[in-house]
Every structure is written in C-alpha cells, then in structure tokens.
Amino acid sequence: MTNNTLTSGEDTEGPQAPVPAVAVAGLSPARWVRAAVRTTRPRQWPKNLLVFAAPLAAANLGRNNGFGYALLAMFAFGCASAAVYFVNDVADVERDRRHPVKRNRPIASGALPEQHAMVLAVLAAVFAVGAGVVIREPLLVVTVSAYLCLSFLYSFKLKHIPFVEMLIVASGFLLRVLGGAAATHVVLSIWFLLVCSLGALGVAVAKRYTELTSLGDEAVKHRPVMRNYRPDILRIAQVLIGVGMLATYLMWALSGKHGARPWQVASVLPLAAAVVRFGVLTARRTVRPVEDLITRDAVMLCCEVAWLILFCVGLYVA
C-alpha cells in the first residue's frame, strides 16, 4: 500500500528497448543481492512500522509476547510489499527502460533477471502469508492476503479507475494497522480506525495533488488516470480530510475508558501544526515523494516529535 506507490503494468507503443549490456554480463552474488534489495524499495520499509500503531494507541501489546507478534506482522508486510514491487517492475520493464530515471532500476537495467525477480516474488508472497499461518492467526493471513490482492489488482487494473485508485493506495496503510492489531490481539476503537483511514486517504490525495501541480500535462502521460482530477478539487479534498482527521483524533482522545485523555487532547495541537505544515509543503511544486515531505522537513519533524512526546506521556500519566 503503497507506496502504497506502484507504476503501470501496461505495454506502451513503440519499439522495445534493448536489454542493457549488464544483463548479458555475468552477475556476481554480491551485486545480485544488492539488486534484489534495491528492488524492494528500502526507503519504503518504514511504512511497515504502522503495525505498531494499534498497540501504541491502546497502550498495551495485547497478547503475551505482543512485541514479537508485532515484529512478525511487520516482517509479513515487508515481504508482501517486496512481492508487489518484484512483480510490478517485471510488468513495467520495457516501459522503465525508456524512462530516463526508472531505466536504472535493477530489473530494467538487467542487474536482476526477470525470471529471478518472479521467483523472489513468489517466495516473498509465501513468507508474507506464511507468517500468519505459523502463528495461527487467520486475521493476519486475511489482511496480508488482502494487501497482496489489492496491490496486484491496482497495478494491472484498478489504477486506471479515478478515485477508486486513491482508496486502494490508502488501503495499504490501513491494512498494515489492521494487521498489527490482528497479530497482537489489540482491539481497535472506531475513532482510531477513522483517524488511520482519513490519514491514509489524506496522504493518497496529497500524492495526486503534488503530481498534478508539479508535472502539469506530463502527469497524464505518467499516470493516465490524472486526466480525471482537478488540482482545486484535490486541494479542497485534502483540507477537508485533514480537518476530519483532527476531529476524529480529538474524539478518540476524549473517549477513553476512564474519560478524556488530557495529554492526548493536548497532542492535538502539534498534530494540527503538522497537518498545516503538510498542506504548506504539498502546495509547493515539487517532485519529491510525499513521504519525504513527512520525514525530511525540519519543521514537520519538530511537530511530529512534539506530538509523539505528548502522546507517549499520556500513555503513562493519568
């Protein structure tokens, strides 16, 4: 979920790009391993930390050895996302070879043979689903399987359906949260689910908005579904979703078992500042991934740290 971020699996017109020379040359084991790891998008791995969201919000790890089960869920979603990237890059190999940047991806450049990538995809998918089977947790199997199915459907079909494709992107974040809750046996509140859902949808909308405003007409060539979107509508949607997320977060903070959570209520302020900062950053024309805006902007990081401190204090202070 992606990124929750997949590229098109359709063929493009024009002659096939030649296979790079590196595909013909012998590959050393070390280079092969590096190519395989690069294909799994290590920069996207932090998304899998969302499996800890439910235990953190509930202030407990649920079942005995809950931390270990949460780590297993993180491993499962890491393998699942790797499987999706392997398949996606094989499907897009010819298109990527004609792209000035994507042609350097391991499969497109020949550093990782397509057949090897497909074998790795199958193994990664088996490990992803198998994690839930090993601990006999059917709900984890369901969430991981749903992530795989939706991601593959998105890559080959659903990415061309406006608005639905944004919901699929957002679902990748939410399924990680649900997977973590399933693995640890933590019960989620409806308000917490709404916060996660709106936050994920806000990120998906911001992705499309920044693509449309920064790439202009080129955005349609890169992602045909973009012809169905208008920047002003996406901007309004982003603002409304942000307001809705803050409102549901406040309701979650006010609906504790023993009444309002004062420190969590106070944490709404830095969270609101982060949402505003995110809106300012996405308003700028930039080709940087939305994830970078969240994790690499100094002001944003200060807001996030302030929120995290207040949130964590509230877990232990009445």
pLDDT score recorded for residue 6: 43
Rg, the chain, Cα only: 20
Domain 1-10+20-188 in CATH: superfamily?
UbiA prenyltransferase (1.10.357.140)
pLDDT score recorded for residue 259: 65
Residue where the block lists tokens 């092969």: 32
Q: List alpha helices for the chain, DSSP H.
A: 29-39, 53-58, 66-91, 93-97, 106-109, 114-134, 138-156, 164-184, 190-215, 218-222, 231-254, 262-266, 268-283, 290-295, 298-316
Cα gap 147→170, rounded to integer Å: 11
> Considering the entire predicted model, what is its pTM?
0.81
* Closest-CA residue to 195 (of 263, 237, 250): 250
Print pLDDT tens along the chain (318 aa).
444 444 433 333 344 445 554 444 456 888 999 999 999 999 888 889 999 998 888 777 888 888 999 999 999 999 999 999 999 889 878 877 866 667 888 998 888 999 999 999 999 999 999 999 999 999 999 999 999 999 999 888 888 899 999 999 999 999 999 999 999 999 888 998 999 999 999 999 999 998 888 877 777 877 788 899 999 999 999 999 999 999 999 998 888 766 677 888 999 999 999 999 999 999 887 767 787 788 888 999 999 999 999 988 887 775
pLDDT score recorded for residue 21: 46
Our measurement of the distance from residue 205's CA atom to the centroid of its chain's CA atoms, rounded to an integer in Å, reads: 13
* Closest-CA residue to 161 (of 89, 212, 226): 226
Domain borders along the chain are 1-10+20-188, 189-318
Q: Residues in the chain, how many?
A: 318
Our measurement of the distance from residue 257's CA atom to the centroid of its chain's CA atoms, rounded to an integer in Å, reads: 31
